[in-house]
Structure 1
Amino acid sequence: MVRAFDTHKIRKTRELSGCLWDFQTLPEEGEAVRLKTPVPGCWQSEPETLTYRGKACYERSFSAAGNIRLEWKGVSHTAQVYVDGEPVAEHYNAYTPFSAVVRGLPAGEHTLKVYVDNSFGPDSALHVPNDYQTYGGITRPVVLEELGGQYLSRLQVTPFLREGSWYIRAEGMVENLEDKPFDGSVGLYLEDERLAVLPVHAEAGETAAFAAEKLPCPKAEAWCPENPRLYFVSAILCAQDGQAADDLIDRMGFREIQIAGKDILFNGKKIRIKGFCRHEDHPQFGCSLPYAAMCRDLSLMRDLGANSVRTSHYPNDELFLDLCDETGMLVWEENHARGLSEEDMRNPNFERQCEDCIREMIEAHYNHPSIYIWGILNECASHTEYGRDCYQKQLALIRSLDNSRPCSFASCQFKTDICFDLPDVVSYNIYPQWYHDTPADAYLKDLYDWVQEETGGSGKPFLVTEVGAGGIYGYRTPEKVKWSEEYQAQALERQLNAIFSQEGCSGVYVWQFCDCRVCDSWFHVRPRTMNNKGVVDEYRRPKLAYETVKRIYRSVETYV
């Protein structure tokens, strides 16, 4: 299952995943492991490759003719793709999609090989040994699309409200694969209603853009967490003779996010965030969660009273975002970078890999109404001048790609951060009564007052983007010592009460929803080689903290 709906009716598509592929490891020494393995999936799910880190090859055959487009929703973490022995694509980063167009395939059977590498090293600035696991494999779906001479490569729609009525701005791109110019038109539709017909001219082998600035949608209903009304929006590409040549279908919701002083406004109403940070991680599936597991996670978060999820610390599977759109779960989505020092950020590949991730994230996920904010560079070097330059460039890139949403970053630099003039929302990760014993209310007030009095973040919305404590499932003790379920529940109660009592605080993300596997090098600070701060364990069994957070979240109104 690739998306929660069909993205084409005219273009012929088929999923190449959802089946077994030929797989073999390519170790630097020792014997290779050969087996049949499911795609999508992580090779850590196979007993023979449970701890393998390195290079491997996936292979399968397919039948096609003419022009095709292959899309990978996620490969962890570096991919090299070959069709019939010829290279067609390379990509770095496990968490963003990429594609390749192959022209003029002869009719018949063809071989597809994907070389995958999940090893750590100087070429990888973002995938490093970290407080979560870097799995290996083709971890998200693979799609084959049959193309004609031209195809629609992008459709972005931005809703906005003017004098009580909804409008959309639409823009997109047409790719001309032929060696002659193309003249045609693009029809834009909301559900079955045609909004506009735009002329398109593309030179031979070139890309043509189209745009409509203000398309009225007078019957549109607003999308919001309590009523997540979705609409299909589509573009149909036609030749000069009126014959439909291609289409592209997506979903959208009508909503606006604005910043008004210290408040985040959702459709004009001040909203309070009650969220969870969530890793894509499961003991059976690694980072390659099936649809039912995603649904289960969202069901539990809704039961907990949450209205938002943070995709810590990378862009998520688009199927999960589809579910957030459908269920009204607001999303903080961020690019892939966590806990990198200035030295790490000086890796020659760092800026390019971060910028590629931002572009791919926003271009792929722009139309999701559930995404209300973009984030970058979690807990990186925002306290240094070099780090500030990186933050400034990446936030500027986000704004150049999408000025309809605010942006932020989650800092852990206590009273040393020098970047709070850059984002729209000031965000802090804090762990009072876990990494230190300062009472939560005193710690938060001290931090908030410093932001208002001594930084460029004064007068902006303020979010607590991480807070929590570790608790090992089943470890119960009347002394309520750290790592016990009792201590975790007690700490979260004090933390959340302090946050919701703090004037000027727009909300919180509990760290975290579920326990997750970490890299082995973190063993000395992570019992079980797991990050144990989930309110449910890795199997989604609730800890004592579950009911504590549920009681508090359900007592707090979404709109203030």
Structure 2
Amino acid sequence: MLYWSASLVHRPSGPIQASPFYRRHRELTRRVYTFLLFSPLCLLVLLLLAVPRAFGQVRVFEIGQPTLRGPEAGIHADSPTRRKIDLAGTWSYSLDNETWQDVRVPSSFDYRGRITFLRKFTVDKSTLLSAAIHLVAMGINHDAEIYVNDVFVGKHVGGYTTIQLNLPENSLQLGSENALKIIVTNTLSARSTLPLRKQIWGWRNYGGILRDIYLLVTPRVWIDKVLARSSVSENLNEGHVDVSATLTSNLAESSGDTLGPLLRSAQVLFAAELLDKVSGAMMGQSALQPVNILPNRDLEVKASLTVTTPRLWSPETPDLYTLRVRLFVQQGKLVRMIDDIEQLLGFRRVDVEKGLFVVNGKSVVLNGIVWHEDSPTHGASLSYEEMEKDVVLIKTLGANAVRFAFHPPHPYVMNLCSRYGLFAVLEIPAWNVPAEILGHEAFQVLAEGMITEMVERDLHHPAVLAWGVGDAIDSADPRARAYVERMVATIRKQDDRPVYFGSRTLSRDVCVDQVDLAAVSVRADDVRSFRNLIVQWKGRHPAQPTIVLAYGKEVEAENRNGWSDPMSQQAQARFFERHYAALREAKIAGSFIDAFADWRGDRPLLAVKDGDPYVYPVGLVSADREKRAAYEMVRSLYNAEKTTALPIGRYRATFPVAHIAWGFVVIFVMAYLYHYNRRFNETFKRALIRPYNLYADLRDLRSVSIPQTIVIAVAVSVTLSVVVSGTLYRFRTEPIADYLLTQVVISDALKEHIIDAAWHPFEGIIAFTVVFLMWYPLTAALIRLFSMLVKTRVYWYHAFAIAVWGSLPLVLLSPLGMALFKLLQSDFYVLPAFIIICAFLLWSFFRVLKGVSVIYDISPIKAYVGGILVTLGVAAGLFAFYESTYAITGYIQLILHMAGSLG
């Protein structure tokens, strides 16, 4: 047998005749060295390929639909005193302020970073002289700086609430085009933005001008803000409306302004009227209130009116009224309208009795659905038709409530809920927030601002049932109490409707007593565990209505194999059939199925086997709105109809033979070489039992077989790959495992590869083997680098051999790796299995350090201390990076609180 050697021995000087053996030896050695030299470079290239490109191709979901006009517009309904200059349509955008392209706005940019938008518009001279002009944008995500003709006019933070800015007179030009520039940045931080950088099960962070944008032209004295609150007497015979409005003046002494002289010569009056939405008949009117308008001042005014025997709004009978707020001048019998605003309004009374909602005197259980503002064709910029079709499908489902997850929806959706009869539950994007961040003053200020904007925009809608101050926040930590208390107080200044936050810490929650609803999100496939958790939660909070904010199940889109297959459509339908029965048995106030449709998130999901891992497959309908079996099941449940029997199918769980096959290959190769190769037998025993002798041979430049070293490197790499693959395969559908993986693997592209490897073990083991093989040259490079400190010359191959033979004990994990998937299915074996794996890793670590001490010719203690310090230094550096950039301790604490509360 030919024996390769990496021995480096002294040769006499002078010319020698190179033998064929020597030439072959030199060539083989050169190839090994070349491999070792270029391996770190190869690994670097692989890592760079795994890092997402910050400036890659931008995907834009364009819609460019005109702003809706008429009485059904989401906000700013048409009025004789106001008009809109629509800015929807073609804009220019640039990512670098040098290269410009056209795009239709509204649109959603699947891009993270800074985008500059530019559009030209004109305003006629008479309008500029006689009117005030405001920029209105219903949603620009996330941070928007707004300039008109390069004059800064305002900044807004938050992508899902309405921007309304009064454009200063000096920013607009007469007789020429005006340039509107909006600089949008949607980069999110793990600490300082609201929302925070997304985790799994979040929503897609689309950038750009997502919703309608237009110029609102009003008189120079206008009604700037209207807050309307309706209430119903206890006997339901009388409705009352309280109106609070802000009047703003921007009068100018110009030839075109005729309003100023009129206001100085006549009495200005303010009034509120209530009209029947269908017939337009007057149903009630407030007293006329004289007001004194001063130039460039704001004035707060209030009015109230009463309606006898009002028609009440409910999901069954969504009767609506039109509230008209007027500002006018009266000179004798002559009335001149200055400004007026119309809003939808309804009367309904919601009480809580014995932990249940009572709507207009009737007990109501919320049969709800979670809706996400996302479309496969338009991103977050849904068309009016898409929004209405979704609401119609939800109403057909039999639902009486919608939870708008993560953030307030488009104003038009709220209009639809009031018209069609769907209770709406709204919340700000304070989602998945650790307690450390909840306690920051800056974060609370951002949350207060978004809550104020959300409530002001949708306060008048009778559909609004409750306001949310966050979901999945770390409510097990006392630091969260201050946040919840402050947000509740902010809402109470504007409205008295119930307030909630979504708790996922269950038994450890310390904040739910500060809100009105005991709202919780539970993910549990086992129906008995699900019921027990809900009953226990309800028992801890008997004075509050219990609401399940989200419960649902993943599904494979085309899987119709019967409910015995856990990822089939029938299994999803059966899940809702059984879990809904458990909720009815628990007699809680209501629940929301998660979700109406699949939606796109920011982070890839480990539980998705095939297809797009960024599309979260839990909807009753697909992202394209194709109904699944679960839709028909829920429709039957919500409408109290007889359900259809679901086919069971013939599903048989597959066993991952790849782990057994690869483990067997390692054992077979090791056993064969051990029994039939004397040199391998001796080297194996010496390296395992008496490693000092092997290390001493390397120090003294004696021969160690190159093929044997490479075989051991491959065997150890395959063994570790089998262990990692088995662990991933076992926990691939566990939400907590996915959450932890997302914290560690910050590159989405790299996580996509890990997901593929987890679901396809055979190919995954090969990929992991390549990665682990690259670890050896990196270790060898470190050994050579630190050899400079002790002034010892260490050759590449010897450093490589130390790393390989030092890790030899890891080969003994092959039998464990073959059975690991099965062992981890039992909770009893999880901890012992990982203890054994960690013990072998530590054993190998110290063996490598022992080898380093020998070839460095230093004491083992120094090598151990040095190795531990270097390892701790690297770990500390990584921790500092993760902590400063991604706040990892806060998120780990949050997930531990969630996991611990379920135990």
Q: Same fold (TM over 0.5)?
A: yes
On the 8 A contact 1:152/1:237 being kept in 2, the answer is yes
Which piece of structure 1 moves more, 346-355 or 289-298?
346-355
**2-structure distance, mates of 1:16, 1:249:** 19
On the 8 A contact 1:76/1:136 being kept in 2, the answer is yes
Pairing 1:166–2:239 present:
yes
On the 8 A contact 1:309/1:331 being kept in 2, the answer is yes
Aligned counterpart for 1:305 among listed residues 386, 392, 398: 398
**How far apart are 1:335 and its partner, in Å?**
1.3
**2-structure distance, mates of 1:15, 1:413:** 48
Name 2:218's counterpart in structure 1.
Answer: 147
Name 1:113's counterpart in structure 2.
Answer: 181
Aligned counterpart for 1:61 among listed residues 120, 138, 149: 120
Pairing 1:20–2:104 present:
no
**2-structure distance, mates of 1:238, 1:169:** 19
In our comparison, the structure showing a higher alpha carbon Rg is 2
**1-structure distance, mates of 2:565, 2:434:** 32
The residue identity in structure 2 corresponding to 1:199 is: P
Alignment of 1:481-520 (within 5 A): 481-503=565-587, 505-520=588-603
Alignment of 1:159-558 (within 5 A): 159-162=230-233, 163=235, 164-178=237-251, 184-191=268-275, 193=282, 195-196=285-286, 197-213=288-304, 215-218=305-308, 220-239=310-329, 241=331, 242-346=335-439, 349-403=442-496, 405-433=497-525, 439-453=526-540, 457-478=541-562, 480-503=564-587, 505-520=588-603, 522-526=604-608, 528-555=613-640
**How far apart are 1:284 and its partner, in Å?**
0.5
- RCO greater where, 1 or 2, for CA within 8 Å and sep 6 or more? 1
Secondary structure at the counterpart of residue 470 of structure 1:
coil
Which piece of structure 1 moves more, 340-349 or 111-120?
340-349
Q: Compared with structure 1, are the counterparts of its residues 446 and 128 closer, same or farther at alpha carbon in structure 2 (3 Å cutoff)?
A: closer
Q: Compared with structure 1, are the counterparts of its residues 205 and 498 closer, same or farther at alpha carbon in structure 2 (3 Å cutoff)?
A: same
**2-structure distance, mates of 1:225, 1:447:** 26
**2-structure distance, mates of 1:556, 1:506:** 21
The residue identity in structure 1 corresponding to 2:105 is: V
**How far apart are 1:143 and its partner, in Å?**
2.1
Percent pairwise identity: 24
**2-structure distance, mates of 1:402, 1:307:** 22
Q: Compared with structure 1, are the counterparts of its residues 484 and 343 closer, same or farther at alpha carbon in structure 2 (3 Å cutoff)?
A: farther
**How far apart are 1:202 and its partner, in Å?**
4.0
Name 2:207's counterpart in structure 1.
Answer: 136
**How far apart are 1:240 and its partner, in Å?**
6.0
On the 8 A contact 1:514/1:535 being kept in 2, the answer is yes
Secondary structure at the counterpart of residue 212 of structure 1:
strand
**How far apart are 1:218 and its partner, in Å?**
2.2
**2-structure distance, mates of 1:416, 1:328:** 36
Q: Compared with structure 1, are the counterparts of its residues 124 and 526 closer, same or farther at alpha carbon in structure 2 (3 Å cutoff)?
A: farther
The residue identity in structure 2 corresponding to 1:516 is: W
Which piece of structure 1 moves more, 442-451 or 364-373?
442-451
Deviations 1:439-486 (A, max 9, x none): 424533344335424xxx322111111111111211233473433323
Aligned counterpart for 1:93 among listed residues 145, 150, 158: 158
Aligned residue pairs: how many? 534
Deviations 1:264-296 (A, max 9, x none): 121222111011111100111111100100111
**2-structure distance, mates of 1:174, 1:256:** 30
On the 8 A contact 2:436/2:479 being kept in 1, the answer is no
Which piece of structure 1 moves more, 96-105 or 70-79?
96-105
Q: Compared with structure 1, are the counterparts of its residues 273 and 468 closer, same or farther at alpha carbon in structure 2 (3 Å cutoff)?
A: same
The residue identity in structure 2 corresponding to 1:81 is: I
On the 8 A contact 1:257/1:406 being kept in 2, the answer is no
Name 1:7's counterpart in structure 2.
Answer: 77
Name 2:106's counterpart in structure 1.
Answer: 40
Q: Compared with structure 1, are the counterparts of its residues 556 and 128 closer, same or farther at alpha carbon in structure 2 (3 Å cutoff)?
A: farther
Give the TM-score, by structure 2 length.
0.57
Secondary structure at the counterpart of residue 507 of structure 2:
coil
Secondary structure at the counterpart of residue 216 of structure 2:
strand
**2-structure distance, mates of 1:431, 1:524:** 16
Unaligned segments of structure 2, at least 5 residues: 1-66, 253-259, 276-280, 643-903
Q: Compared with structure 1, are the counterparts of its residues 210 and 272 closer, same or farther at alpha carbon in structure 2 (3 Å cutoff)?
A: same
Q: Compared with structure 1, are the counterparts of its residues 33 and 341 closer, same or farther at alpha carbon in structure 2 (3 Å cutoff)?
A: farther
On the 8 A contact 1:125/1:347 being kept in 2, the answer is no
Name 1:77's counterpart in structure 2.
Answer: 142
**1-structure distance, mates of 2:274, 2:342:** 10
**How far apart are 1:308 and its partner, in Å?**
0.9
The residue identity in structure 1 corresponding to 2:484 is: Y
**How far apart are 1:542 and its partner, in Å?**
1.4
Name 2:657's counterpart in structure 1.
Answer: none
Name 1:436's counterpart in structure 2.
Answer: none
The residue identity in structure 2 corresponding to 1:128 is: R
Secondary structure at the counterpart of residue 243 of structure 1:
strand
The residue identity in structure 1 corresponding to 2:591 is: V
Q: Compared with structure 1, are the counterparts of its residues 450 and 238 closer, same or farther at alpha carbon in structure 2 (3 Å cutoff)?
A: closer
**How far apart are 1:127 and its partner, in Å?**
4.1
**How far apart are 1:43 and its partner, in Å?**
2.4
Q: Compared with structure 1, are the counterparts of its residues 208 and 415 closer, same or farther at alpha carbon in structure 2 (3 Å cutoff)?
A: same
The residue identity in structure 1 corresponding to 2:462 is: P
The residue identity in structure 1 corresponding to 2:640 is: S
The structure richer in helix per residue is 2
**1-structure distance, mates of 2:301, 2:224:** 11
Which piece of structure 1 moves more, 325-334 or 157-166?
157-166
Secondary structure at the counterpart of residue 421 of structure 1:
helix
Give the TM-score, by structure 1 length.
0.90
**1-structure distance, mates of 2:452, 2:270:** 24
**1-structure distance, mates of 2:607, 2:269:** 59
**1-structure distance, mates of 2:533, 2:196:** 34
Secondary structure at the counterpart of residue 217 of structure 1:
strand
Deviations 1:392-444 (A, max 9, x none): 111121112101x11111111121111121111111111221xxxxx424533
Q: Compared with structure 1, are the counterparts of its residues 393 and 556 closer, same or farther at alpha carbon in structure 2 (3 Å cutoff)?
A: farther
**How far apart are 1:553 and its partner, in Å?**
1.0
On the 8 A contact 2:196/2:433 being kept in 1, the answer is no
The residue identity in structure 1 corresponding to 2:91 is: W
The residue identity in structure 2 corresponding to 1:41 is: S
**2-structure distance, mates of 1:15, 1:511:** 39
The residue identity in structure 2 corresponding to 1:195 is: Q
**How far apart are 1:106 and its partner, in Å?**
4.1
Which piece of structure 1 moves more, 307-316 or 200-209?
200-209
The structure richer in strand per residue is 1
**How far apart are 1:83 and its partner, in Å?**
0.7
